[in-house]
Chain A
Amino acid sequence: MAKNNSLHPNSNGETDDSPNMLVYRKMEDVIARMQDEKNGIPIRTVKSFLSKIPSVFSGSDIVQWLLKNLCIEDQVEALHLGTLMAAHGYFFPISDHVLTLKDDGTFYRFQTPYFWPSNCWEPENTDYAVYLCKRTMQNKARLELADYEAESLARLQRAFARKWEFIFMQAEAQAKVDKKRDKIERKILDSQERAFWDVHRPVPGCVNTTEVDIKKSSRMKNPHKTRKSVYGLQNDIRSHSPTHTPAPEAKQPTEEELREQIKFGQAQLDRHRLKMSKVAESLLSYTEQYSDYDPFLSTPDPSNPWISDDTTLWEMEASKEPGQTRVRRWGFGINEVLKDPVGREQFLKFLESEFSSENLRFWLAVQELKRRPIREVPTRVQEIWEEFLAPGAPSAINVDSKSYDKTTQNVKDPGRYAFEDAQEHIYKLMKSDSYSRFIRSSAYQELLQAKKKKSKNLF
């Protein structure tokens, strides 16, 4: 995968761009292709009444182009992608404030790169006020303010009452400049300016695509890249292009950090790496084994409570009577037995019948210890030690000498993980010994073959 330099994390691990920049670049790549002279969307000027509609293409043109050029399967997906790009303001319907894509003859126009979201626009309300004010000075019917715009203007007039004269003057100056432009050019620029504001001050009820996740917005990394001033009212702090900002000075690692990096790197290099073919095999067999239990792949028995509204399945799960499918799952591995409370119960029952339950009881006790409140831990550690490991313990378990020594030490300063080594050893023992005996036992086999108990009428 080619790594675009301005996107590759620098040695601090931080990219220079806002979280959305990657997405904007992707959309802009598509736009560039759409605007390509040879293979892009055909743009034309349409005659209408006494005037011309310059530089437009239809919604269907866009949908067709997307279907043909982007490996999109169906019209729904094309509309979805197109609407996304319209909502971000890359192209817009010339006669509507609502930025969606329609698969019909509705006319659309491209947005000028000056107004693209990748320029990190955060236009201020003063600019919006100038814009709305300017619109009222242009007495063409098509430029009349929509209801929500008129409301916004009224609100802004109240908010900026003190500097309204200044705003009015700016609007007048803008309107004067606009009048001098070529008529066709004006049409295009007006519509692009309106589309810009449709993105940043959307119609009430429409999604505001400039909304940023609060997790990202609190990372104000590059305030100097934000463009705030549309009409030159504030000092535009930005002095250089957003795509060529020099990277912030990379922090040099300290000696300590380098040592850690090397140690970590060494450990990584030494680790055993499983071959991809084995990994694939393992993933495939896991999903295969569990597909019978995945309600998205196999229909649950008796029914999925979300579809049938029948909660029998949940009641069965809660009951102590394990169904056949549940029992079969215990055979997948020791973890499945230990995970299921009924499984644990059956496993314990079987081991008790063989007078070899101390391993499982120890394992369960240690698991329970890890969930205890910290003040109860020291006493519990002592109890477990006495029961399972101390010389002459009533339920003595067999641990290797290394783990035994380590545990003896840990018990002197008891914490939640005092028995970790011993527990790991016992787990391995159970896995190879007790568990396999359980699965082969007649008790388990009977549960597996269990026929539905017929309720006997005793009276």
Chain B
Amino acid sequence: MGEMEQMKKEAETLKTQIEAARKAANDTDMASAASGVAPAPRVQLKTRKTLKGHLAKIYAMHWSTDNRLMVSASQDGKLLIWDSHSGNKVNAVPLKSSWVMTCAYAPSGNLVASGGLDNMCTVYNLKTPVIKTVKELDAHTGYLSCTRFLSDTEILTASGDTTCALWDLETGKQKTVFLNHVGDCMCLSLSPDMNSFVSGACDSLAKLWDIRDGQCKQTFQGHTSDINAISFFPSGNAIITGSDDCACKMYDLRADQEVICYQDAALNSGVTSLALSLSGRLIFAGYDDFNCNIWDSLKGEKVGVLSGHDNRVSCTGVPPDGMCVCTGSWDSFLKIWN
């Protein structure tokens, strides 16, 4: 057998062995383990605020760490900074390219970032008398689907060129490039300890990366279509993904496999976004069918629906103190619920 053939065989054998090892660890399933737990309260959430101001589809939103301010990005070519409790627009940042797909708020509250079809991540300083563009991070060869700040000096990006990257905001250069996905990267989520992050891509895989050494540490499979949304469980030991295959899944990092699948026969549209409540018990998942469904993360049951948008829910977010959930939609409105 030629060397290539031998190596292919070895790779295949390893895959089979890994599957077997995963099965062996499967001594129970999450639903039965959670059967003894009291069900999550049936959640009937009301819209507390509707933020009107965008003139076109909203593609992304992100809460600030102060639990009140948030940034939203729309195809009308603007980033809006809201004091969502009062409903006031604090700032408006005009974008060079209106094809924006993502936005992020820095933990310090000093900076925001946006990116999209321009393949760039643009960082703005909110604290100067007039909002200034601080950096244009230009090295990706595909659209920018998601971005998150680590601090005022470092930022992570996920791109349609199948890579993720860690940038130094001082030099504006990529410090680390994370290569392993074979499909467009659609989303990313930072671990609570900030030492790693997970990404979801159009190759239907989720991957765990070590920020320090740039290596892919784990790969999670199971979805049958693009993974559009991903989030760490607050303990940092598990992740939740949402996909075009109409399902959400929880994967545990230590078990190295899928733990539970959130799916419904009646749900016939892709998941666009997701966010978790503070304890991780509730998953708020936005779908193409204009609704946001609420899942009990432990029991795998649907416990509520947020319906009120007139078009696809494109983004969801829970602030760090967990007091509410925000949904943003192609209908140009943001709604705050609890």
Q: Which residues does A use to contact B, with CB under 8 Å?
A: 1, 3, 7-9, 12-15, 19-20, 22-23, 26-27, 30, 66, 70-72, 77, 80-81, 84-85, 207, 211, 213-216, 218-219, 253, 255, 258-259, 261-262, 264-266, 268-269, 271-284, 286-291, 293-297, 300, 304-307, 311, 314, 317, 335, 370-375, 417, 420
Contacts and interface: CB of A to CB of B under 8 A. Distances in A.
A81 B289 CA distance: 8
Given A3-B224, A72-B266, A370-B151, A283 B256 contact: no
A60 B11 CA distance: 55
A22 B145 CA distance: 22
Q: Which applies to chain A's interface (DSSP): helix, strand, loop or mixed?
A: helix
B310, B321, B336: most-surrounded residue (chain A CB, <10 A): B321
A373 B203 contact: no
30 contacts: A8-B224, A12-B182, A14-B202, A14-B203, A19-B270, A26-B246, A80-B289, A81-B266, A85-B268, A214-B143, A215-B143, A218-B160, A265-B14, A265-B15, A269-B14, A269-B21, A273-B22, A274-B252, A277-B27, A279-B237, A279-B259, A283-B280, A283-B298, A286-B279, A291-B281, A293-B278, A295-B321, A296-B322, A300-B323, A374-B168
Contacts of B322: 293-296
Given A280-B28, A290-B280, A296 B338 contact: yes
Contacts, number: 262
B151 A371 contact: yes
B101 interface: yes
B130 interface: no
Interface stretch (B34-42, B88-96, B121-129): B34-42
B147 interface: no
Contacts of A314: 67-68
B133 interface: no
Contact of A284 (B17, B33, B59, B257): B33
Given A273-B256, A375-B170, A215 B186 contact: yes
Given A215-B160, A218-B143, A274-B255, A23 B269 contact: yes
A294 B68 CA distance: 17
B282 to A, nearest CB: 5
Contacts of B10: 262
Nearest to B254: A274
Given A218-B160, A304-B338, A264 B216 contact: yes
Q: Which applies to chain B's interface (DSSP): helix, strand, loop or mixed?
A: loop
Interface string B179-221: 0011110100000110000000011110000001000101100
B238 interface: yes
B232 to A, nearest CB: 12
Contacts of B43: 296
Contacts of A307: 48, 338
Contacts of B224: 1, 3, 7-9, 15, 22
Given A268-B18, A374-B168, A295 B268 contact: no
Contacts of A295: 277-278, 321-324, 338
Interface in B68-89: 68, 75, 85
B1 interface: no
Given A72-B266, A295-B322, 17 more contacts: A26-B268, A77-B305, A85-B268, A211-B330, A274-B252, A279-B238, A280-B34, A283-B259, A287-B281, A289-B279, A290-B278, A294-B279, A296-B277, A304-B323, A305-B85, A370-B151, A371-B152
B134 interface: no
The 4 closest A-B pairs by CB, nearest first: A13-B203, A280-B33, A265-B14, A13-B182
Nearest to B25: A273
B183, B186, B203, B225: most-surrounded residue (chain A CB, <10 A): B225
Contacts of B237: 279, 282-283, 286
A286 B270 contact: no
Interface in B96-111: 99, 101
B30 A280 contact: yes
B212 A276 contact: no
A274 B143 CA distance: 37
A415 to B, nearest CB: 10
Interface string B249-267: 0001011110100000110
A27 B24 CA distance: 36
Contacts of B324: 295, 304, 306
B250 to A, nearest CB: 8
B141 interface: no
A379 to B, nearest CB: 15
Contacts of B277: 294-297
Contacts of B218: 268, 271
A319 to B, nearest CB: 14
B7 A259 contact: yes
A272 to B, nearest CB: 8
Contact of A77 (B184, B266, B336): B266
A408 to B, nearest CB: 19
A286 B99 CA distance: 40
